[in-house]
Amino acid sequence: MKTDIEYGDFNIYDINSILGFIKENFIQLLLLLLVPIIIYIVDHISNINTVIFGLPSPVPNISHPNPQVQQQVYHKKRKISKK
């Protein structure tokens, strides 16, 4: 059975073939292993950020800026009577 992908001399049972594959694709394999570490670090930083901004303000008179609520203005409609 022949496929379109050519593997060259790669053989999973030969240690020299595996070492050659690792040498050729070292950067790609390193990046693949670094992905979970990067995700863990970003998650940790996000948790620290949540803790910092969840604390109350150290100055009692200053609070976190709240968005201003716009007041809705209601206009009464005039009834126009026809004479």
Inter-residue contact 12 to 18 (CB < 8 Å): yes
According to the 3-state scheme, what is the secondary structure of 12-46?
CCCHHHHHHHHHHCHHHHHHHHHHHHHHHHHHHHH
| Domain range for 38 | 1-83
pTM reported for the whole predicted model: 0.49
Q: What is the pLDDT of residue 56?
A: 75
Domain tally, the chain: 1
Q: What is the pLDDT of residue 16?
A: 87
- State which residues of the chain have pLDDT below 70: 1-8, 57, 61-83
Q: What percent of the chain has pLDDT over 90?
A: 30
Inter-residue contact 63 to 57 (CB < 8 Å): yes
